[in-house]
Amino acid sequence: MKANFKEELLKAKAGKYAIPAFNFDNLEMAKGIIAAAEAENFPVILMVTESAAKYIGLEYVYAIGKIAVEQSQVPLIFHWDHGFDIELIKRACDNGFSSVMLDASTKSFKENVKLTNEIVDYAHARGVYVESEIGHVGGKEDDRDSKETSFTDVNEAIEFNKLTGIDALAIAAGTAHGVFKSKPKLQYDLIEEIVNKLSTPIVLHGSSGVPHEDLQKAISLGITKINIGTDLKIAYAEALKTWFVKNPQKFDARQFGSFAIEAVKKVAIEKIKVFKNQ
């Protein structure tokens, strides 16, 4: 069932839990994510990045989102994640996405505000919600690999929020996209200060590999949306490797695809249980 992006995040903030936002790169991953949400009877955000959408095919992605929203037995938000191409973000707004994210975090503050306002105006006119990022979460995201990370400045976050009217703000507070080479150090004081000074829901990106207790602490401080991509990619890939080691002569895509769906579902369920914070 279709859910309202901002309403779900505000409910999460009030209830001291977080909505899991899961990336999918193909149909099997999407099915695993939705199956996990239904198994736990918990709302999820089903996300696709720009390059994943291009890989799958934009029209196929639009169709997957439409069917997912219509048939899901739990509240589901279809989200365009880490959009860099303004025109593709606008197309997402016109093709069934509940919410979109513009990532202009590597640009100047002024340019980030300008581009975000363009998307906010376009999206809000169509009933679509907008997430944007201030500060920069580094690491490998989509086809981009950023070596730089800059923690969010609290005053910039306040000003950015005021100037843009966004519905959710992604901050840089110690996480990174991709696989961590060492244990991440979340900036809890920074998270708490931003949450306390803004009514807008706050988002944590790059959270694969972060210890569950660290994520739960971030949730207790007010984080309401947590993005998970790499953990599901690893689960999917490892499942396929395991399948072909055990079944070297079985090439039925329905069989190894189902095996991978279950692996994604299992990891997504683990995350949902953590984000419920119960």
DSSP string, 129-179: EEEEEESB--EEETTEEE---BPPPHHHHHHHHHHH--SEEEE-SS--BS-
Residue 122 CA to residue 148 CA, distance in Å, equals: 30
Segments forming the whole domain that contains residue 268: 5-276
Residue 222 CA to residue 33 CA, distance in Å, equals: 24
Q: Looking at residue 80, what is its pLDDT?
A: 98
CATH code, domain carrying 108:
3.20.20.70
Domains identified in the chain, total number: 1
Instruction: Spot the catalytic one: 81, 103, 142, 167.
Output: 81
Residue 227 CA to residue 177 CA, distance in Å, equals: 10
The model's pLDDT over 143-184, given as tens digits with 9 standing for 90+, comes to 544 345 578 999 999 999 999 999 999 998 877 655 545 567
Cβ count within 10 A of residue 218? 26
Position 278 confidence tier, pLDDT thresholds 50, 70, 90 = low
CB 228 within 8 A of CB 208: yes
Query: What 8-state DSSP symbol labels residue 105?
Result: T
pLDDT > 50? residue 247: yes
CB 204 within 8 A of CB 218: yes
**Residue in this structure with the two tokens 């694969």, named with its chain if needed:** 208
Q: Per the structure block, which two tokens stand in for 36?
A: 């996990």
The model's pLDDT over 86-141, given as tens digits with 9 standing for 90+, comes to 999 999 999 999 999 999 999 999 999 999 999 999 999 999 999 999 986 654 44
Query: What 8-state DSSP symbol labels residue 2?
Result: B
Residue 261 CA to residue 269 CA, distance in Å, equals: 12
pTM of the full structure: 0.92
Residue type present at position 191: I
81 annotated active-site = yes
Orientation angle between helical segments 230-246 and 27-40, nearest 10 degrees:
110
The model's pLDDT over 180-231, given as tens digits with 9 standing for 90+, comes to 455 678 999 999 999 999 999 999 998 888 999 999 999 999 999 999 999 9
